Amino acid sequence: MKKKKKSLIEKIKRFYDKKIKKNMTKYTMKETALFMIITFSFGLVLGGIIMYGKGPFSNSSSLNEFIATYNEISSYYYQDVDDEKLLEAGIKGMIGYLGDPYSSYMSGETAEDFNEDIDGYYQGIGAEIKYEKDKVIIGRIFEDSPASKAGLKTGDELIKVEDKSIKDMSLAKISSLVKGEKGTEVNITVIRDMKEILLKIKRDNVDSISVTSEIIEKNDKKVGYIYISVFASNTFKQFEKELKKLEEDKIDSLIIDVRGNQGGYLTAVTDIISLFVKKGEIIYQLKRKDNIEKIYDKTKDERNYPIVMLVDSRSASASEVLVGALKETYKATIVGTKTFGKGKVQKVSALSNGSIVKYTYEEWLTPDGNYIDREGITPDEEIKYVYDEKIDNQKEKALEIILSK
């Protein structure tokens, strides 16, 4: 006789008590309740507000049918059944029924990559790699990172990880070999000045860099330039730091570049907007069925110098929230091509096995109440990007416009 298996509802309750409920203590309500993500590699299914479930699933009659079916198959199917995969198939079926491109189920490495990107840090050595003429070259090395402390240098040619040749490996594969649990060590071999050098590097938590800046001096003016690659949990702090550095150098104006930025934490973009607009101004609006909530700036921070924003067709979700607010409330000028058009918000639940379930929860609107989903935001100055190794034509146009203000 088969040993009686635990019912689905018992497993779900156990998952909740051990994992979800436990994990809720790690985050503030602000962090777990307001979170917008967008990604194209997963079919643009990200881009919503993250909230952990507040309790076990309800025990409705409809759910009882699902549970009964699960228990029947799990207990009496003539072949062995993987309970986890059976449950996963049921979850995927529910998500698939919605027919919503922004609702999804992610498991395994996909969920891990998602969390890593949006958390703004990972466990590794803190160095970027790239291919140059069939060679794997060390690019940017993060400040105070394990790689920096171990003596790794930009321009080193990476040839081995743990005595394993990385020849013909993809960058993703190499990166997975170098990354690892905090406190563990990794041996890498590089070529520098025609000599092989073996470095033993102790892995640690490494902050991902999502904000970079520079000052462009032209026509006796100083123009600040900030690029934001994603709105991760640490993006606001990075942005505020770079902005203060630019302002200490007495910039006259600012260009904010979100080309290719597919979204991120709503809290991050909200805090960034609040640095510029006046207290009491509308930042964006949230629509839930027949209810519309206006989100106002509650800070004393504000700026009044000219701002130009650079956008393209991959600027989406949280990026569009920033664009909409600075365009309509701050009166910034938008340059580039029409943005993607993602006006949906999602709730996300983290399951005990590390999987993530996301479903559309509400919609967001610009300060003036414009709904940009599938429409995008049209720039004030439309200009297509023309590839050139020496000149960024969109950036040059933004510079031309801001110097004329």
Give the catalytic positions in this structure: 317, 342, 346
**Who's near 243: CB < 8 A, 6+ residues apart?**
213, 224, 226, 254, 275
Q: Are 35 and 83 in contact (CB under 8 A)?
A: no
Q: Are 327 and 30 in contact (CB under 8 A)?
A: no
Structure tokens, 109:
């490495």
Q: How far apart are CA 198 and CA 339, in angstroms?
A: 46
Q: How far apart are CA 320 and CA 264, in angstroms?
A: 11
Quote the Cα angle for 228-41-164, to 5°. Answer: 90
Q: Residue 358 forms beta bridges with which residues?
A: 104, 348
Note the helical H segments in 16-99.
Answer: 21-23, 29-33, 61-76, 83-98
Q: Are 301 and 275 in contact (CB under 8 A)?
A: yes
φ, ψ of residue 114 to 5 degrees: the values are -60, -50
Q: How far apart are CA 4 and CA 255, in angstroms?
A: 64
